[in-house]
Amino acid sequence: MAVPAPKKMTAQEVQEKQRQDAELSMEELVKIYKTSMDRGLTEAQAAQILERDGPNELEKPPKPTLLMLFLMQLTSFIIILLIVAAAASVAVNATGPQASDPLSYTTGVAIAIIVLINAGIAAWTEAKAGDALEALSQMTQASINVLRDGKEKLIPVPTVVRGDVVVLGVGDVMPADTRLFDAKDFKVSESALTGEPDDVTKTFKVRAKKENEAEKLTPENMAFSSCSVTSGTGRGIVTDTGMSTRIGRIAQLIAGDGKPKKSCGCFPDTSANQTPLQKNLEKLGARIGILAIAICVGIFIIGWIADRKDPSNPDSAAWLYMILVAVTLAVAAIPEGIPLCVTISLSLGCKDMVSENVLVRKLAAVETLGSASVICSDKTGTLTEGKMTMVGMWAAGVTYNVTGKGFDPEVGSVQRADTNADGKRDFGVRSNLLAALLCCNTSLSKETDPETGESKWVPKGNSSEAPIVVAARKVGFSENVAQDYPRALEVPFSSSRKMMLTVSKVKGANLCENGMALPEGTNYLTVCKGAPNYIVDLCSEQLSEDGGVKELTEQDKKDILKVVDGYSARALRVLAIAARPMQSLPYDDNDEDVTTEQKFHACRQQLRLIGLVASIDPDRDGVPESVLAARGAGIRVVMITGDYLLTAIAIAKNVNILQASDDVDTSAVDCACLRPGGEYLEDDDMDKLTGSVRVFARAKPEDKLEIVKSIQRQGQVAAMTGDGVNDAPALNQANIGVAMGIQGTEVAKGASDMILTDDNFCSIVKAVEKGRAIYSGIQKFVAFIMSVHIAEVMQIFTCIVVGIPVMRTPLQILFLILVTDLPPSIALGMEPAEKNILKQRPRPKEEPIVLNWMWIAMVMNGAILSVVIIAIYLVALMYYCDGQIFQTEIYKLDSYKEKLADSQTVAFIALVWSENIRAYISRSFTQPMWEDILGNKHMQKAIIMAQVCLYMAVLIPGFSDLILGLRGVNIGIFGWALAVAGPVGTFVLSEACKYITWLQANKYQKDLGTQEEEATMARSANSGHLFPNKQKEIEMVPVGSVAPPAQVIGNSGKKGEVVFAADGKNHGKAPKGFDDMPLSASAAAFAGSRQQPCCWIWCWH
């Protein structure tokens, strides 16, 4: 029977195969893979399998080249419009009378340069993005020991094949998925794969699952590719290699199961991964393009019908002249500056983010986090430190608190819980910690990072022992204290024993200074460390606070287990420490026939309970406050973890993800409910469940991915944080993936859009605030630029229809938009965040970047600008052109070119000044210009730069007159004075229009809030069948305590909603669809006793 060749399998098929590999007997497995546990494969077999299956490595999809990325930037709608405009400009000038004049092509060249710069910046940024799959392939070590032809041999990891027998030891990285047949104190770190912070004990035995036993994330007799061996030795048969391994499945999830899609014939289709900003800009570009085309066609038809001919060449056809006019109008209509301005704004935002400890890998991701409505976070290393830390101790009948975080023994202390007195010299503390230390194999040392030069404390060994070692150092035990107690016996922890046992040689009357007294003649000390219920059951006596020893009664055991339950309820991991002084070993040490199990049973008799130690992976500093801030910003924080449900709930409560008002039964679930019977719920049921749950426990990588997809289907913008390999698929799928920079794996970083350089969840809230501010700034400068373009179109349209000379050339329009308008636009993109920006609702995913009321504001401001500038232009024409305003009459005047240029110059100066004033007005859609007028320091710099560019454009000979056609030195005092009327008129009229904008903006926010409340209630109402044992009830609670899943259905002072009074009586009716329910007696009494605002909520009970 040949080894079956691997094939591409579905997730369910992979799971089923792995289950079979774990449950088959070794004899059956050996037959399937045609190998031998004693001799392994032959070299010939291995070569044959390698040729058939391929190397043991992950597939890497082809990476797009810099050229491909550059060309992809040219496919956006607005860029295509710019390319067409540039080509049309060059083509028209090439067929005109000035075809031989290089200056006639400046317009087309200028547009082309803008396009190239914008595409180049975006392509270079994308090219620098890391490759997650490349990082995955680098997680395994270069070589591994295997058995070939009965001999142990070191071979390269890529040549490992299915059926190979691998030889494993501490420090090895699993080369492939492996079924163990030999395991001695064998432990692996699966934190990167499952999120579990603790090392996982592995065995070679096949264990039947007990009734009601929670499903383990990984089989006990399987070790998986890329997991490091932290303890013991082992041997196993390789069952899966390369893309067939669990890590390979994650690689498939990152890359996508399907083949790469193509767009535009040859470019990869990236539409599914577009951010809201990218989609909104494309929609805006499409609207602008269609509008520009319509306007150009419209003005062409009007001019053609009206027979508007080129006055300088009356014999030419009207349609040819109108093509030139249409090109001018197109340049005025298409916002050339938006793509470049957005790119610059996001680039500057990336730079500012660095100061907030956020490294942005993709430009458009800057604003996406600001639109996030849900943050899905991994627990270990993200919300928590990822470092098991002792926080509590019970020793000799006294309870202690242990302070400090992480592995630094120089931070924190041991204090009595009742008095907060220093307890490091207490008899029970020193006895408990030293005894525990004698039953550990973990060391702690200070190491210096060669790259950063930073020193930090690093434990080496079992992660569950690290808290004991750190706490022992805190109370003054030296690094080498265990060497004073030579070890005579060690029985490692096993899942069957539930404890570890050591026997050490001791001397003296006390275990240590101020430690437990040792009976006269004591030469050995047995120490047991393990599960409290097992240890306590073996104890017959206990250490007392006065230093003596007393009997451990059944009632004492119950009381001690209550202490254990108290620790466990706080999600603390509890270990019991017991000891037994002995004059001699209870077995013949020279008898080789005495087994380890016999020695274990002989030494663990008549134990003395010394104490308990309680550890936890603590929450990061500031995380609870950041979660509350996220709630205030309208963001739901969801924890997705591989921990057991009770542990996950306790951690969630610690960090405020779950609050007192949350119903744990419906807000926290085991991920098994997502896939009853092994199949995921239908999309509708999945969406109803994920719409309210805040904690998902026992999550697999596929679960995280499905949860994120479900949240996205509900129209939410999902952010996903994480640090492990298991987080990578969800990081890649989320609208924005946020990886940890310090403890995060390269895989997670490669799949992310942002990296938190300080690994602090708190930085996410700062990034949300910054992202919202950047998006708000982009809205402001887009509105500013668009109002300028609208004004340009209106002005040119008016000139054509009325028959007055077009007031500026295409090159003048480009100069206005890109030189004098671009700096203020960039400054608007750097506008400081508004004070209440974190109190605003997250914007809807499909919300356009320019809202309807913004379009109205832009049209109004464009019309104001047009009316003011056209009025100034008409006055200038009358002054400089001998009282003439119509084009046909002006072209009959002597020196009409110079006179017309003087009029155009006055209008040009007035427009620049007016737009500079409008830049200050545009800092807020609703607040007056004079409010905090100097609050944006960048704006002052931008206006100065714009003014310098203006005076260069109108005053420098050669550049002003020959290239731009402006004559600032010839307009005289009258011209400069007339231009001042532009900013004055613009200021007065634009500020007056802000009242209309203020009314519309407030109405939009109110309507948005109503829609969100209705949608939230609908989701809650539809999720009832998922929790059949829950009943709906309306209650009254303080406003500040309301949190999902409780849904607000009424509030005081809101028309059409429930109205209530301080007496707690229902004075109104619930909204449509809800019964008019009276308050319960307790709720009424509660409400009547409150002096603060309350609101009605609908919740599950």
Catalytic residue ranges: 378
Is residue 1000 within 8 Å of 856, Cβ to Cβ?
yes
Residue 226 CB-density burial (10 A; 0-12 exposed, 13-18 middle, 19+ buried): buried
CA distances from 408 to 450, 477, 1071 (A): 19, 14, 56
Our separate counts of H helices and E strands in the chain read 34, 32
Distance in Å from the first CA to the final CA of the chain: 59
**Token pair in block for residue 254:** 């990152």
Between β-strands 695-697 and 718-722, what pairing exists: parallel, antiparallel or unpaired? unpaired
The residue among 254, 246, 1026 whose CA lies nearest residue 700 is 246
**What is the spatial distance between Cα 722 and Cα 1078, in angstroms, rounded to a whole number?**
45
**What is the spatial distance between Cα 293 and Cα 310, in angstroms, rounded to a whole number?**
22
Phi, psi of 491 (to 5 degrees): -115, 110
Cα angle value 848/333/71 (rounded, 5°):
70
**Cβ neighbours of residue 237 under 8 Å, at least 6 residues apart?**
26, 29, 30, 33, 35, 37, 163, 164, 165, 178, 179, 181
Amino acid at 184: K
| Number of Cβ within a 10 Å radius of residue 857 | 26
Is residue 498 within 8 Å of 575, Cβ to Cβ?
no
CA Rg value for the chain:
37
Alpha helices in 132-230 (DSSP H): 132-137, 191-194
3-state secondary structure 862-921: HHHHHHHHHHHHHHHHHHHCCCCCCHHHHCCCCCHHHHHHHHHHHHHHHHHHHHHHHHHH
**Token pair in block for residue 664:** 């744990």
**What is the spatial distance between Cα 499 and Cα 578, in angstroms, rounded to a whole number?**
11
517 secondary structure, DSSP code: B
**What is the spatial distance between Cα 309 and Cα 796, in angstroms, rounded to a whole number?**
16
Q: DSSP labels for 92-104?
A: HHHTSTTTT-GGG
**What is the spatial distance between Cα 137 and Cα 58, in angstroms, rounded to a whole number?**
6
Task: State the number of CA atoms in the 13 A half-sphere of 321 facing the CB.
Answer: 19
CA distances from 673 to 640, 680, 685, 704 (A): 14, 9, 11, 13
3-state secondary structure 695-740: EEECCCHHHHHHHHHHHHHCCCCEEEEECCHHHHHHHHHCCEEEEE
Which letter, b or e, does each residue of 434-448 get, where b requires 16 or more Cβ atoms within 10 Å of its Cβ? Answer: bbbbbbbbbebeeee
**What is the spatial distance between Cα 59 and Cα 18, in angstroms, rounded to a whole number?**
21
Residue 154 CB-density burial (10 A; 0-12 exposed, 13-18 middle, 19+ buried): exposed
The residue among 840, 859, 907 whose CA lies nearest residue 880 is 907
CA distances from 219 to 180, 197, 243, 1063 (A): 10, 17, 19, 59
Beta strands in 922-1061 (DSSP E): 1032-1038, 1047-1051
The residue among 677, 731, 673 whose CA lies nearest residue 701 is 731
| Number of Cβ within a 10 Å radius of residue 363 | 23
| Number of Cβ within a 10 Å radius of residue 386 | 24
